[in-house]
Amino acid sequence: MSETKKALIILNDSDPVLGRVCKNKFKKQAGWDTILSSTYDEAIKIIVQKKPGFLITDIILKNSVKDGLDLLKFIRESDDKDIAKMPVIVFTDLGQEPDKKRAFDLGANEYLVKTELRIADVIKRIEKFIS
Amino acid sequence: MKISNKKQTLAFLKKHFIMQLATSYKDKPAVAVMLYAVDNNFNIYFATHKDSQKSQNLLKNPNASLSIWEHHSALIQASGVVSVVKDAKEQSKIMDRLADAATEDESFWPPVFRIKGDEYIIFKISLSWARILDLEQDTIRQKDTPFTELNFK
């Protein structure tokens, strides 16, 4: 099991159960503590206050004007070096190349498509960002 | 697991997290396999998409039946009346319970996540009746009735 480190998960607001299940699975299978949020503003608040080890964000945030890629942009442009360097994993239903390219161009560290992976695969792909 | 009273029934319900849920409206019955959570008052909770068949059925006809089965142990059949959980705090608690139930088995992933649908609706089934079939005995026939009946009203 990896060293316990805080992760911040942001998931589409219409799927609050998915967020909770991922949180439990991450804790049980990888030992990670996860803070859940579901909007751009909520996520910014948590990032600034708690400075989690890394961020996993969906792109579509239903109850936000801004999306997960705006969040990624905010992080990379932050004056706070700890925040600017935070690993960001995009975790989405959008599997098209232009979506992936946009995310990597903005500085995403990893791009995970929900329809292509099991939770164990997600944990494996994220583990490399845990120091 | 021999079940003959409410305490044992509750323990069985808490041990499991998957039920077969039957709903109906007019001449259209529907059965679905659902993730559930139960509280100490025999209220059973589940979440589904608002536009699902079972949800549409239950909004028009709140009567539901369910069964929960374990090989070589017991079968519980139960009926009750369903209501929609509207309070945000209660919804949040129930979603936590459902997430806990979904994490019981490491490889389990709730089928609802695979389905594209409308937003969630959370239902509570207040049980009125249950019948437990003892499946522990392996004789061909059983001398006494294998059923235990429970009423919750």
> Mind listing the pLDDT tens digit of every residue in chain A (131 residues)?
444 445 666 654 457 888 898 989 888 888 888 899 888 999 999 999 988 888 999 998 877 789 999 999 999 999 999 999 999 999 998 999 999 999 999 999 999 998 888 888 888 988 887 75
CA A3, B110, B91, B49 dihedral sign is: positive
Q: What pLDDT sits at residue A53?
A: 86
Q: Domain boundaries in chain A?
A: 6-127
CB contact under 8 A, A21 and B103: yes
Is residue B94 in some structural domain?
A: yes
Is residue B115 in some structural domain?
A: yes
What proportions of chain B, in percent to the nearest 5, are helix, strand and coil?
A: 25, 40, 35
Residues spanned by the domain of B23: 6-151
Give the chain B residue whose CA is nearest to the CA of A16: B95
Whole-number Å distance between alpha carbons of B46 and B125: 9
Give the chain B residue whose CA is nearest to the CA of A121: B107
- Asked if residue A6 lies in contact with residue A30, where contact means CB atoms within 8 angstroms, the answer is no
Whole-number Å distance between alpha carbons of A80 and A9: 20
Chain B closest-CA separation from residue A2 CA (Å) = 17
* CATH code of the region A6-127: 3.40.50.2300
Interface residues on A facing B, Cβ-Cβ cutoff 8 A: 14-18, 20-21, 23-25, 28-29, 118-119
Whole-number Å distance between alpha carbons of A40 and A55: 12
- The widest CA-to-CA distance across chain A, in whole angstroms, is 37
For residue B102, is it left (φ>0), alpha (ψ between -120 and 50) or beta?
Answer: alpha
Q: Count contacts between A and B (CB, < 8 Å).
A: 39
- ipTM for the complex shown: 0.74
Is residue B45 in some structural domain?
A: yes
CATH number for the domain spanning B144: value is 2.30.110.10
Q: What pLDDT sits at residue B66?
A: 98
Is residue B1 in some structural domain?
A: no
